[in-house]
Structure 1
Amino acid sequence: ESQPDMNSICKNAIDTVDYGDFVVLYSHDKMLVEVSITRGGKYENHNGIFPHSSFVGRKFGEKVYSESMRGSVYILRHSSTLHTTCLSHRTQILYAPDISIVLFQCDMKSGSIVVESGTGSGSLSTSIGKTVLPTGHLYTFEFNEQRVKMAQKEFKAMGMDKFITCTHRDVLADGFNLDTEIDGEPTNLDDKADAIFLDLPSPWKALGHAHKVLKHNGRLCNFSPCIEQVQKVCL
């Protein structure tokens, strides 16, 4: 199976579409769809059939017509903001304004090691992954197994599975350390996380585990909708 080219992930991406790219298609009915460009692949909507070969070599932002010429789509470069707009809302999600505050306040950047729980729909996870690449890594944890499988599938389609490890785990009970190795490196995260993001029903129960993996002078962000949750975390 064709994997996304690194050019479609990194900032210095080329301007034209190639096989293996993960792109966003925008139609005139304001519909946004994520598509992985593959040899022999095709995209279909009510305006007709769009062979993937018709996108290859086109510049991002170009209009591409269907085989029948009945309709068209614009081909857009994939971004974390567009992904947030496209993704299936398995849970409530964070949008660009909140995400930008989290990234800034937690000082996330290329090379950062970040821990997140829970993954949810993967909106914030994708933004973190694109922020810390190519030398950083996001370890994200989710207690719902079905959401983990969906997120893993999406991260792989985007080529982000090299920078994001998504694990099925109840972190309140079992913490953030993993039992397996990734690329031959142990995944003991004690004192390795530059930042931790918590979006949990009972975040105060995860503070002990978070303290264990957070670096000295690392940053902890707790995202809670209720003041009672905030009070329990702070007290």
Structure 2
Amino acid sequence: MRIQEGYYVLLFHSNRKKWLVKVTPQKKMHTHLGVIDVSAVIGMKYGSIIKTSEGKNVYLIEPTVHDFIMKSERKTQIVYPKDFGYIASRTGMQNGSIVLEIGTGSAALTTFMASIVKPSGHIYTYDVNPDFMAIARRNLEKAGMLQHVTMHQQDPHLGLDIREADVAIVDLGDPWTVVTEVHVSLKGSGAFVAICPTMNQLEKTATVLKQCGYTDIDCV
């Protein structure tokens, strides 16, 4: 594939020296490796090599979802890619899945899930913080996933409009407080995932899940 104006490219020199950039005319990057003429990559193929003004090699790599997530704008702690695979396999998430997410944050997990459920599935994500939602929207748009996500800036404790969701992901400080609302939104045998950094959060959430009739509960 040839790189066109407006495409994103990962400029890779080493694991510690790589940049995710949007290709535009006359764009140049000043780095400690020398100047990189980004505009010069227009028409080149991904996988090609260009040289900086100091003669250093830079590889033109087509970005993956992982690259967009790791280079995303953020103001919050994110769920990292090492956890994504387990979440997807444990919940059965796939193309066509309907996913309810509570706690959008910077949309790192949202971006990954959208890449899994597209083109037939959809993500419905909720957050009360307008700053987080603005950042999340920019990150999703940059990764090309915004069309697969519907964003709701509202308090999930006041009720959720989604029904028959396949999976629910809750990333709140008090996930047990929305178990009842989420239960109504999930289909029978739907999966509930709570991101719980502390044992106290885990214990409270597991207790409420059992009270609501959930089974096959585990912690990783």
Distance 1:169 1:33 in 2: 34
Matches within 5 A, 1:107-126: 107-126=92-111
Deviation at 1:112, TM superposition (A): 0.9
Residues 100-141 of structure 1, C-alpha deviations (whole Å, 9 max, x = no match):
111111111111111112122222111101111111111122
Q: Please report how far the alpha carbon of residue 27 of structure 1 lies from its aligned counterpart in structure 2 after TM superposition.
A: 3.5
Q: Residues 182-235 of structure 1, C-alpha deviation per residue, up to 9 Å, x if partnerless? A: xxxxxxx222x1101111111111111111211112111111012221222222
- Counterpart CA distance in 1 for 2:102 and 2:163 is 16
Say whether 1:220 aligns with 2:192: yes
Query: In structure 1, what is the equivalent of residue 68 of structure 2?
Result: 83
Structure-to-structure mapping, 1:1-235, within 5 angstroms = 15-28=1-14, 30-38=16-24, 40=25, 42-46=27-31, 47-52=34-39, 54-66=40-52, 68=53, 70-171=55-156, 173-177=157-161, 189-191=162-164, 193-235=165-207
- CA deviation profile, 1:43-72 (whole Å, cap 9, x unmatched): 4122214243x2233222322234x45544
Write 1 or 2 for the structure with the bigger share of helix: 2
Mapped partners of 1:169, 1:25: distance in 2 = 38
Cα pair distance change 1:107/1:155, threshold 3 Å: same
Per-residue Cα deviation, 1:151-195 (whole angstroms, up to 9, x for no partner): 101211222111122332222x32332xxxxxxxxxxx222x110
CA RMSD of aligned residues (A): 2.1
> What is the identity, as a one-letter code, of the residue corresponding to 1:48?
V
Identity across aligned pairs (percent)?
27
Task: Indicate the residue corresponding to 2:214 in structure 1.
Answer: none
Provide closer, same or farther for how the CA distance between residues 218 and 99 of structure 1 changes in structure 2, counting only shifts above 3 A: same
**Amino acid across the alignment from 1:24:** L
Instruction: Give 1 or 2 for the bigger CA radius of gyration.
Output: 2
With normalisation by structure 1, the TM-score equals 0.78
Structure 1 segments, 4+ long, off by >4 Å, are 69-72
Q: Is the 8 A contact 2:23 2:38 kept in 1?
A: no
Structure 1: 5+ residue runs without aligned partners? 1-14, 178-188
Question: CA-to-partner distance for each residue in 1:49-99, whole Å, 9 max, x for gaps?
Answer: 4243x2233222322234x45544322212122223222342112222211
Q: Which amino acid aligns with 2:90?
A: Q
Query: TM-score, length-normalised on structure 2?
Result: 0.83
Q: Which runs of 5+ in 2 are unaligned?
A: 208-220
Report if the CA contact (8 A) 2:106-2:139 is conserved.
no
